[in-house]
Amino acid sequence: MTANSSNFADRLLEAVREKKNPSCVGLDPRIELMPEQLKETSLRRYGNTLEAAANTIVEFNTMIIKAVADVVPAVKPQIAFYEQYGSAGIRAFEETVRYAKSQGLVVIEDAKRNDIGSTARAYADGHLGEVNLFRDSEARIFDVDAMTVNPYLGVDGIQPFIDSCKKYHKGIFVLARTSNPSARDLQDRTVESEGRTIKMYIVVAMLIDEWGKELKGEKGYSSVGAVVGATYPKEARELRAVMHNSIFLVPGYGAQGARAEDVVHTFNEDGQGSIVNSSRGIIFAYRNEPYRTQYSSAKFRDAARAAALDMKREITEALARAEKLNW
């Protein structure tokens, strides 16, 4: 299977195999955490404006992508950090996506979109597919490889995204068990299903497994994946048993407290099926130990690269100890 496969799951797994690295860098830019020299350059050029913020984001992201492009197979920009700056921020998001793709990276947009009917279709078209223009023409807008979606409205809110996955060979990751502490408020609730009492996240997992059956690739995995937080390893084992053919997008590693040993449970026995994300722990590594004492703010990209390499090593060593390393 080549990187040109028409199935998103196959493409992502091949990218993981080529880099020998099942990790992903989250591009969640925060102006207040960026190096002062980047901000000062934008301020001199644009003044204290939204354009200055957007320019800083693009410069920062470009440098981070350059630093990690040969290490990781994918990046995950969280669109909220861009949308907050209005049209200037959206431009920064679009430029970030284009540059990441030009460097051969898989781009997973963290958007958590959800609605029904024509509104869900508009989200799917704008982010994954094409939108209608005049005289029967169409245009691709964000054109990300995959995005996160919320299953709360049921299949009415998911089907338009599945349709786009089929038509444009894209992927989605459906929220199943998220990494935040209050996830238990809803996701741990018990419900009656087919004569047994089960947790809500298991109900969602069964739906994800069903929704993804028609989108399996040659490697046996579906382009309909699941978001499963690394901070809940016990639940991850349960979910893997239900969603054997789903790729897990795994947040919570690093800054949120999960370790390499925790994410091992999200992988299948074949050593495949997960892409583990770290955002702050990579892109702002220069602000934290041990990188802070080794790299100045002017070398923030070198700190990010070092952190990405450390993450790769930690996860692959944990997989090897669990006899799940397979490349």
pLDDT at 308: 98
Which sign, positive or negative, has the C-alpha torsion 278, 242, 144, 52?
A: negative
How far apart (Å, rounded) are the C-alpha atoms in residues 226 and 247? 6
pLDDT tens-digit series, residues 92-127: 999 999 999 999 999 999 999 999 999 999 999 999
If DSSP codes are grouped into helix, strand and coil, which group holds residue 111?
A: strand
pLDDT at 177: 95
If DSSP codes are grouped into helix, strand and coil, which group holds residue 5?
A: coil
pLDDT at 113: 95
Q: Which residue has the higher pLDDT, 259 or 68?
A: 68
Q: Where are the alpha helices (DSSP H) in 103-230?
A: 117-127, 155-168, 184-187, 200-211
**Alpha-carbon distances of 239 from 91, 162, 205, 308, rounded to whole Å:** 37, 21, 7, 27
Q: Is 101 a catalytic residue?
A: no
Please name every residue paired with 130 in a beta bridge, in sequence order, or none if there are none: 140
Q: In the chain, pLDDT over 70 holds for what percent of residues?
A: 98
Length of the chain, in residues? 327
For the segment 264-276, the average pLDDT, to the nearest whole number, is 95
Label residue 186 by pLDDT band (50, 70, 90): very high
Label residue 4 by pLDDT band (50, 70, 90): low
| Residue 194 pLDDT greater than 90, yes or no | no
Q: Which residue has the higher pLDDT, 290 or 193?
A: 290
How far apart (Å, rounded) are the C-alpha atoms in residues 327 and 321? 14
For the segment 308-326, the average pLDDT, to the nearest whole number, is 96
pLDDT tens-digit series, residues 215-235: 999 999 999 999 999 988 899
| Residue 179 pLDDT greater than 90, yes or no | no
Contact 46, 82 (CB under 8 A): no
How far apart (Å, rounded) are the C-alpha atoms in residues 235 and 250? 12
Mean pLDDT of the chain: 95
How far apart (Å, rounded) are the C-alpha atoms in residues 65 and 96? 9
pLDDT tens-digit series, residues 122-158: 999 999 999 999 998 999 999 999 999 999 999 999 9
Label residue 1 by pLDDT band (50, 70, 90): very low
3-state secondary structure 189-203: CEEEECCEEEEHHHH
**Given the residues 66, 101, 112, 299, the one annotated as active site:** 112
Domains of the chain by start residue, with CATH: 8-316 (3.20.20.70)
The phi, psi pair for 227, rounded to 5°, reads -90, 120
| Residue 318 pLDDT greater than 70, yes or no | yes
The per-residue DSSP string of 30-89 comes to -GGGS-HHHHHHHHHHH-SSHHHHHHHHHHHHHHHHHHHTTT-SEEEEBTHHHHTTHHHH
